[in-house]
């Protein structure tokens, strides 16, 4: 059993921590716990709205695919540690730390 810690760029949001099992994606955990993270395509790697920054634990999740990298490039403010939450699937136990970019200007599902 691992865990994911969500930090937020929005200053009014406090960090959250949840358990995460092998096979779970960061988006799954966000949805299961009502964490605000847009996902217009429904989590099938067809948009960039679930863009996050992986701060720690990158070695615990699947490597970035070429398809995901293409969508990350279209995200707002992409960085070297940018990923799509729907594609961050836990492969081994540990602590994953992610930052969710400011969601206030993104139109989509909550």
What confidence score (pLDDT) does residue 106 get? 66
Q: What is the CATH number of domain 2-100?
A: 3.10.20.30
Return the SS3 of 2: strand
Residue 39: which residues within 8 A CB-CB, separation 6 or more?
Answer: 27, 31, 47, 49, 50, 85, 86, 108, 109
What confidence score (pLDDT) does residue 107 get? 56
Where are the chain's structural domains? Answer: 2-100
Tokens standing for residue 16: 């959250």
- Whether 94 shows a pLDDT value over 80: the answer reads yes
Q: What is the average per-residue pLDDT within 12-26?
A: 97
Q: Are strands 51-56 and 95-100 parallel, antiparallel or unpaired?
A: antiparallel
Residues paired with 34 in a beta bridge: none
Q: What is the average per-residue pLDDT within 68-92?
A: 96
Return the SS3 of 69: helix
Nearest one of 99, 87, 11, 101 to 56, comparing CA atoms:
99
Q: Which helix (H) or strand (E) holds 72?
A: helix 66-72
């Amino acid at each position: 059993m691992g865990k994911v810690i969500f930090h937020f760029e929005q200053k009014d949001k406090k960090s959250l921590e949840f358990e995460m099992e092998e096979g779970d994606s960061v988006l799954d955990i966000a949805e299961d716990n009502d964490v605000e993270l847009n996902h217009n395509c429904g989590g099938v790697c067809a948009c960039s709205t679930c863009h996050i920054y992986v701060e720690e634990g990158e070695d615990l999740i699947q490597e970035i695919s070429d398809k995901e990298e293409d969508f990350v490039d279209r995200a707002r403010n992409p960085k070297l540690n940018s990923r799509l939450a729907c594609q961050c699937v836990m492969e081994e136990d540990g602590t994953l730390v992610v930052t969710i970019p400011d969601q206030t200007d993104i139109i989509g599902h909550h």
